[in-house]
Amino acid sequence: MDLLSTIEDQGEALNAVSVPDHPLNNAFGSLNDMCYELSSLQDLACRGSWKSILDKVARARTQSLLSKPHEHLVYLTYNIIALTKLRRFPEAVIELDTLENGIDNVIYSYENYPQHYPNRYGSMAPFALRWLYAELPSKVGNRQETVDRFYMLLQFVREKTKVSKDRLGLADDVWRIREGLVINSIISHHLSHKEFGVCLDLIIDLIKRDPTPVARAVLMSKLGYIQMQLGDLEGAKASFGVVEGIVNEENVEVEMKNLVNRNKALIFMVGKDYVSAVREYQECIDRDGSDVVAINNKALCLMYLRDLSDSIKVLENALESVPTAALNETFVVNLCSMYELAYVKHSDIKKTLSNWIARVAPDDFDTSSTRV
């Protein structure tokens, strides 16, 4: 697994916050009642049309189309997301710096504008904006600032969770999901610097908080991945065994069943038993033809078995049958690497792939992944 990239289902946190939370409640009849043309922004974000979002935000600002304070924050959030997706990080930081004295300034509170928000209290800052406030420093070389801000965000989320639990007698599911997102972001940053001990502590703490069975299975899988990074193969097998037990006992979705097979396949891959790994990944694909983790890793296993022809077919078929799911940089890097290994005249093939990607890919796709 040192030659090519392996996709794992750790997911970039940014994908999880690609659409800001709505700053007002569900009393509104439509998204556009909550914020000027919010449904249009949301649709553009879902389609990956980040350049169009930048144009739309610029037009709304120039023509003074935003009438309420929270609308400015929502549009600011979309603008920063778009700049971040397009890897224009310095510009995103400049946008973020337009927040006066930080995200928790009183001027961003509902009670500061009683004429617009009678009987509403608290911050109007979307959670996505808070996540970006934490993440962006790392994109311009300040990793420690990002880690510090994420820990502060974690404290903020846990305070909100405690308030909802005290008021309702149970933790608000939204805030529990956000807690998981923030912790996963923190884990990702620690993993990138091989700080495995901290990652283990964070995951074990989450598991102790008695999550739902499905959430517990996901956490145990991540625990197993980290144990593998530490060389603790037996520990990883034990963690993956817990996952399989949970899935066997619960009425779960296909994705959770596939998680079990992918875990088994990883163990086989570490042991260089690629034939068995292919079998596990194929079982995932038979259940869900859009499982790109299984598709990508099956292709890698076939390559390690010196079957370049079939490994290329696996990836090409996925790009043809499930382009929306399969079109990511890691997938394309792997395919182009296989072209380079399989064909003398690989440049023409990669150029054809690059031209197709240019027609169908979202704005944030990194076209350099084709290495044309």
> What average pLDDT does range 306-313 have in this prediction?
96
Q: List pLDDT tens digits, range 320-339.
A: 999 988 998 999 999 999 99
Instruction: Give kind and range of the element (H or E) at residue 34.
Output: helix 31-34
Torsion of CA 359, 360, 362, 366, to 10 degrees: -70
By CB atoms closer than 10 A (0-12, 13-18, 19+), residue 305 is: middle
Taking a C-beta distance cutoff of 8 angstroms, is the pair 42, 78 a contact? Answer: no
- Answer yes or no: pTM beyond 0.75: yes
More confidently predicted of 174 and 126: 126
Q: List pLDDT tens digits, range 247-277.
A: 999 888 999 999 999 999 999 999 999 999 9
Q: List pLDDT tens digits, range 115-163.
A: 989 988 889 999 999 999 999 999 999 999 999 999 999 999 999 888 7
Could you give the C-alpha distances from 61 to 65, 127, 241, in angstroms and in order? 6, 22, 54
Q: List pLDDT tens digits, range 9-43.
A: 333 334 444 445 544 444 445 667 678 888 999 99
Between CA 7 and CA 157 the distance in angstroms is: 29
pLDDT tier at 173 (50, 70, 90 boundaries)?
A: confident
> What average pLDDT does range 306-314 have in this prediction?
96
> What average pLDDT does range 74-92 have in this prediction?
96
Give the per-residue pLDDT at 105: 87
